[in-house]
Amino acid sequence: MSKKERTAIQPTREENYAEWFQQVVRAADLAENSEVRGCMVIKPWGYAIWENIQKALNEMFRETGHRNAYFPIFIPKSYFEKEAEHVEGFAKECAVVTHSKLEEDGKGGLKPAGELTEAYIVRPTSETIIGASFAKWVNSYRDLPLLINQWANVVRWEMRTRLFLRTTEFLWQEGHTVHETSEEAMEETLQMLEVYARFASEFLAIPVIKGEKTEGEKFPGAVNTYSIEAMMQDKKALQSGTSHFLGQNFATASGIRFQNREGEFQHAWTTSWGVSTRLIGALIMAHSDDDGLVLPPKIAPSHIAIVPIYRDDAEREVVMAMANRIVESFKGARIDDVRVYTELDNRDLTSSERNWYWIKKGIPLRIEIGPRDVASNSVMIARRDLGPREKQSVEMENVVDYCLKTLGEIQKNIYERALKFRQENTVKIDSKDEFYAFYTPKNAEQPEIHGGFALSHWCGCPDCEEKIKDDLKVTIRCIPFNQDEEDGNCINCGAQSKRRVVFAKSY
């Protein structure tokens, strides 16, 4: 079988990575564009991944003392105007509600009517509207810390959109917390970054780099922004979660004041942090291959596809009996806290069609059962993280043990594969020429292909950051944690520097 025939996704990653991504999404039936500008429809297989992300994160948020709540979707324009940097950051791309009804336009259609006295903004993020509630809830240091999370839809009027990665409407969670001291708020900010990093590696099987954003890349209104950055298979970075130390900026804007232990009134210290349906984009781009989606078992909507094969009623009876026994044997099975689901697929399609259907959907394991398997009391099991032709014969009595063990191995394997890929494509660069060469495409037809992450020195000056961005479309993804001080020279201007930062092209 030629390589071309083997491949379910056209084009391949090498041929055209951006188009490959769209085709993987389509082949796995995860989502599609709607006719509403930049808004996507998340289809059941994609939405089930999101629900699993929610489930796992909810557990982690609860363990760290957070509670879920829900705040209005509309932000009065006056709230929005309160924090100068914030409004500057979001005013250029927001949905504005100006009317409260439609009435006949006299031409057989409808026109907006009932103009509002104050326009509302559909939330692009909720610091200002949640701040208005927090200002009422917080009166004394005894009310602190206040630890709230919200699951919601938000809207940002993006000019160029792409399924999951950048859409006008997207789903996310946004944590909002209030603290008595700057130190506690900073501790919370870093704790939630750590939660995100742990979630990305343990559930999504994506290794991430934790670090601080530069002044130019931080959240509008934040004092410090921290992020987790992941490498996709085209060697670009994808910011996968952010945690913001907001200082007293939003507390001042919203009037979140409390009586401290000395009996004096002061502004509180706040944080916010979020991850979104973008994580599904990260998941797809980190692990999938030219056969389609590859899902980490801990986040997959379902785990084992069972494909019975028979040619007549007699074969059907024995094969289906065995298939049903397998389904039955997985009732209540779990990997860690995650329930294991099976899909018995006896649709009226060839076994190859059914197999490829599940390969493209990224189901971690496939079990084929034919009359010969019944005779030998064993089945053939294929792992999605290996080639589609690699199958293992497993005795019936060992099927559950084998599958549970292997699901754990797949989770580990795809994490390690992603980690190795990142390590192989992350280079310390100390020469400007080398840096420019690293980010210069070798092939004019594929301008996106480049070297990967560069760990290089940066003097800390915004001009140097800007110059590199202008020249190469390369940005500082973060100033990574846990690095030793090291003398060096800024990759742009040559000035002295004490630390390396992570440079990359990004989504």
Chain residues binding its own copies by CB under 8 A are 32, 34-36, 39-44, 47-48, 50-51, 67-77, 80-81, 87, 91-103, 109-112, 114, 119-122, 129, 132-133, 136, 148, 152-153, 155, 157, 169, 171
Q: In Å, how far from its chain's centre is CA 423?
A: 20
Looking up tokens 């924090």 gives 83
Q: How far is the CB of 419 from its own copies (least distance, A)?
A: 31
Q: How far is the CB of 488 from its own copies (least distance, A)?
A: 42
What is the amino acid identity at position 229? E
What is the amino acid identity at position 138? V
CA distances from residue 194 to 131, 260, 269, 271, 502 in whole angstroms, order as listed: 24, 29, 20, 14, 18
- The pair of structure tokens assigned to 27 is 């082949």
Nearer to its own copies, 42 or 209 (CB): 42
Q: How many CB atoms lie within 10 A of CB 196?
A: 25
Q: How far is the CB of 449 from its own copies (least distance, A)?
A: 34
Nearer to its own copies, 34 or 423 (CB): 34
Parallel, antiparallel or unpaired: strands 338-339 and 426-428: unpaired
Nearer to its own copies, 104 or 397 (CB): 104
Whole-angstrom Cα Rg for the chain = 26
Q: How far is the CB of 140 from its own copies (least distance, A)?
A: 13
Nearer to its own copies, 90 or 435 (CB): 90
Nearer to its own copies, 104 or 395 (CB): 104
- Cα(45)–Cα(25) distance, rounded to whole angstroms? 10
Nearer to its own copies, 111 or 498 (CB): 111
CA dihedral 506, 294, 358, 14 (to 10 degrees): 60
CB 335 within 8 A of CB 409: no
Q: How far is the CB of 142 from its own copies (least distance, A)?
A: 9
- Cα(396)–Cα(419) distance, rounded to whole angstroms? 35
Q: How far is the CB of 94 from its own copies (least distance, A)?
A: 6
Q: How far is the CB of 363 from its own copies (least distance, A)?
A: 16
- Cα(20)–Cα(256) distance, rounded to whole angstroms? 48
Nearer to its own copies, 111 or 442 (CB): 111
Q: How far is the CB of 359 from its own copies (least distance, A)?
A: 21
Burial class (CB in 10 A: 0-12, 13-18, 19+), 36: exposed
Q: How far is the CB of 10 from its own copies (least distance, A)?
A: 21
8-state DSSP, 235: S
Burial class (CB in 10 A: 0-12, 13-18, 19+), 200: buried
In DSSP terms, which residues pair with 342 in a beta bridge? 304
Q: How far is the CB of 335 from its own copies (least distance, A)?
A: 19
Looking up tokens 């590859």 gives 294
Nearer to its own copies, 1 or 70 (CB): 70
Nearer to its own copies, 42 or 382 (CB): 42
Collapsing DSSP to helix, strand or coil, 237 comes out as strand
- Cα(38)–Cα(444) distance, rounded to whole angstroms? 29
Residue from 273, 276, 256 nearest 186 by CA: 273
Nearer to its own copies, 15 or 104 (CB): 104
8-state DSSP, 198: H
